[in-house]
Structure 1
Amino acid sequence: MCLQIRDIKSKVIYCSAVLLAVMLGLGTRAYGDQLPHFVSVHFGDAIWAGMIYLAFRVLLTRHPLWLSLVLSLCFSFGIEFSQLYQADWIIHVRSTTAGGLVLGQGFLWIDLVRYTAGILFCYVIDQILQY
């Protein structure tokens, strides 16, 4: 019983963190012109990838943190490399707001660095808060 309550508590905390990441990420898009240039250019992608890590933590609360780290890197890199595929139907999906936010628009090597930074940041904070 205690394990189930602990799992529920963890899921609520991680869900809250996902929602915070969504708000911060959208904030970097909505208020990018009011933020420092470095923040508006790089933080949105890093926050998106951190949100992916946190979403994996929601799903995998009973698993080690490193598994969420690996899966979120694979997922984020997979999304980025999928942007090399340019069929008409996927371009149409990417042109929608939701499709653009999830799938991105075009492949950029720097995005892989941004994703790695965002995921590692969340992973390190998660590691610290575990103890």
Structure 2
Amino acid sequence: MSPVPSTSPPVRPARGRLLLPPLMLLVIALGLGSRSPTVAAHLPRFLTAYAGDTLWASMVYLCLVFAWPRLLVRRAAAWALGLSVLVELSQLVHTPWLDALRANRFAALVLGRGFLLSDLLCYAVGVALAAGMDLLARNGPPRKGVV
């Protein structure tokens, strides 16, 4: 007697949460370092201009997959990019209470201060990098001869 095939979708394996906190700390350190005048003096202008925003979006992705370890990579990427774009668009809104909140250094790191169109491209790159690394971590490197 053969087994009855299951009609329910397979359960997605959860990501290992053990590696995510150190990775998140590394991303934070790199992002803050890219904005530090001491470190920035030794980096190319391109990196100091765009690395922080790129890493910020990567951090949004990491936070999402930490909170929901079974989230599909494409959904995590879509949510991370959507949230990043919403935060950037919120920088077009200037109410007294929101500007006062953004005057706080921590809130400014999370919410930003002013809208820049180039940040949207940085967010797309940051999410793509994080999602790509997630796929590599889950599936391993591409096998030789497989496209």
Q: What is the TM-score when the length of structure 2 is the normalising length?
A: 0.81
In 1, distance between residues paired with 2:71 and 2:112? 29
The 3-state SS of whatever aligns with 2:17 is: helix
Kindly state the Cα deviation for residue 94 of structure 1 after the two structures are TM-superposed. 0.7
In 1, distance between residues paired with 2:125 and 2:118? 11
Kindly state the Cα deviation for residue 66 of structure 1 after the two structures are TM-superposed. 1.2
The 3-state SS of whatever aligns with 2:115 is: coil
Counterpart of 1:43 (choices 34, 51, 55) is 51
* Alignment correspondent of 2:96: 88
Kindly state the Cα deviation for residue 13 of structure 1 after the two structures are TM-superposed. 1.2
**Uncovered stretches (5+) of structure 1, i.e. residues with no partner:** 1-5
Give the length in aligned residue pairs. Answer: 126
Kindly state the Cα deviation for residue 33 of structure 1 after the two structures are TM-superposed. 2.2
| Match status 1:76 vs 2:100 | no
Task: Name the structure with the higher helix share.
Answer: 1
* Alignment correspondent of 1:32: 40
* Alignment correspondent of 2:107: 99
* Alignment correspondent of 2:126: 118
* Alignment correspondent of 1:11: 17
In 1, distance between residues paired with 2:77 and 2:94? 28
Kindly state the Cα deviation for residue 14 of structure 1 after the two structures are TM-superposed. 1.7
Identity of paired residues, percent?
A: 30
**Uncovered stretches (5+) of structure 2, i.e. residues with no partner:** 1-12, 140-147
Kindly state the Cα deviation for residue 113 of structure 1 after the two structures are TM-superposed. 0.3
Kindly state the Cα deviation for residue 63 of structure 1 after the two structures are TM-superposed. 2.1
In 1, distance between residues paired with 2:116 and 2:71? 31
Q: Which runs of 4+ in 1 moved over 6 A?
A: none
Contact 1:15–1:55 under 8 Å retained in 2: no
* Alignment correspondent of 1:57: 65
In 1, distance between residues paired with 2:134 and 2:66? 12
The 3-state SS of whatever aligns with 1:12 is: coil
